[in-house]
Structure 1
Amino acid sequence: MNVKKAILATMIVSSMFVTLAGPIPAGAEAAQEQKQTDNKKVQIDKKIAAKLEKAVSEFAGKEIKLKLQDAFKHPHGIVAVESVDGDYSIDFKPETGDIINITGNQSINKVSKKDQDDLLNKLKAMYGKKTYTFHKEVQVTQSYENNKESRTFYLLKGKDFTISLMKYAPGTKDKNYIGAAVIEFDKNELDPKLLKTAAEAVKTALDQDFDVTKAKLGYYQGMKETMWELKGGNVTLAVEAKTGNTEYVYDISRKRVMTNKEITEKEVKEIVAPIAKKLFQMDIQGLEVQWDNSAKDFCFVQNKDTKMTVALDADKNVVYMFSGIRMLLEN
């Protein structure tokens, strides 16, 4: 379980996928806020500026002008600048002008017919009752090492779906792979059994009814099973598609306690033990309960391995429960 979620946490694909399953460990949200705060505008040397505009223009296949006056520095010293039309962006090292990434939309023809077929087959394997047709443009991120193209990330979209492909430069030892895929559904497309499973899980964890309004079926490289994420009102629930096992559940309207002085570790174990047994089929009696002061929640640990993460509100109701490490929640 933790290995699987660690894989999700290390994937850098698209904000869409991060939003889908929240696969960022707690603390990353604060880091993101700090990142936004630390962004500083920088001056770009004329020679480097010309190099950057030439590179983006070659990538786009047409002349592109950059908003050089709006370039800003991320933490770790990387500088980012967008094109005037907002369609392209480039990340680079300010000291040398070495390019890290260029991102923008390109024709679907940039993706080979074989790769397109492989992606379509993956979508059909996930859910065969939909028709999948790619849009004519693909979001492409070209990465560089030592000023040479090292890998290319493609994000392909169509009606109700998105899928990504990572391709490495010829001669590298890394293998190309489908990074992630997400298929969106309306409630009327969902299996009644899934809706029943979801309602029972939310009732168990949050003690409230659950009316699903929308859903996504997601796949991530490194996972054996696809995962459903179901939403309704303030509640989000994720279950494995094949087994129906709950991965996590949370209610964003509930406010978690911010200190373990209001609820002790012993009380938490007593409160969530019956819920964990029914929701995750997990006996937590032998697990150690640890308060995480940075994330403001409780971790249930065995041999330094987090088996479950829980937050409660002031009325001792569950705010969220994760089978394993916590992940970033939607705001």
Structure 2
Amino acid sequence: MEQHRQLITWYVLFAITQATTLVIIVLDRDPLAERLAAAGLLVLNSLWFLGYGKKLVERGADDWRGFVYVAGSLATWAPAVWLTGNATFALFGLVPQIYMVLPLTWAVYPMAVFVFTPQVLTWLAGSDAALPWAAALLIIGFSQAFGWAISRIAQQNQQRGELLERIEALTIEAERARWSADIHDTLAQGFTSIITLLQGAQPNVGLALQTARENLREARALVASNAPSPLDGSSLEDALRRLVSGVALPSSFRVIGDPVPLPTAVEVVLLRTVQEALNNVTRHSGASRVDVVMRFDSDGVSLEVRDDGRGFGDALEGFGLRGMRARLEQVGGTLSLSSDEGASVLVEVPL
């Protein structure tokens, strides 16, 4: 969009210079035939740009085709200058085009040819130079400096565009990772619990239905980008207590210390961490019991999920544990694992 606006600006400049030059030529006192011929050549020059040069500018070709355009532009403009020196005013629109269709190191040579063309033609015609030679040299120097500045701006715009594209790609990747973690922490775990419960005795059917309903609320919360549904309208302690009571194992939940209000981001991370830890207990530990302790003290808040299962052993961390660490890093928390008489997952978040 930014590049499009810049091109429109250059097109307007070219149109204004061409129109102004045409008016000056038509209103001059030169013979009518010469004025009409010069005006016709200038119109042909404009058509050459619209038919060929404009495509090169928009494609950013910067190759041999730029020389073809420059040669055609010179061939339609130089005769107009021969007929009337007033056609020299078109230089203000033609010189920038050279830098738009050729690399900076190449553009200086045809640009110098364009600037010196009026000087040479008026000298051959036996007339005074259309521009003082010092002014012509000044125009060449200014045009090259201006072309360098435009080139730098274009390069910076390109780098900025590439950076924005990279940021957008990283944002999308991060969002996908967040969704993957949310789905893993909620829906996948919930449905795993349902399967485990349904594989047990008939009394577990009611608990399975409750878990299914909670996962349905989770799905709706994820789509709406809301906080996790277990937190809706309740405290973190109550949400954790419900999670622990829903485990298909003997379980307990305790709070030690005086609870303090926690930032929403911290509550979400703690809730998701306990969900993942409980899921690991039911799926992998072979435990007969799980206990969750939440502790508030002067340093912060901690959560420990401990079971009496087989422990972690030499198993590598899977997606769930990596997701835990990633979430905790976002709120400055840490994750500790131990396998002393079972398995323990300790989460600590400073406040």
Structure of greater relative contact order (alpha carbons < 8 Å, 6+ residues apart): 1
Greater helix proportion: 2
Identify whether the pair has TM-score above 0.5, normalized to the shorter chain.
no
Greater strand proportion: 1
TM-score by length of 1: 0.23
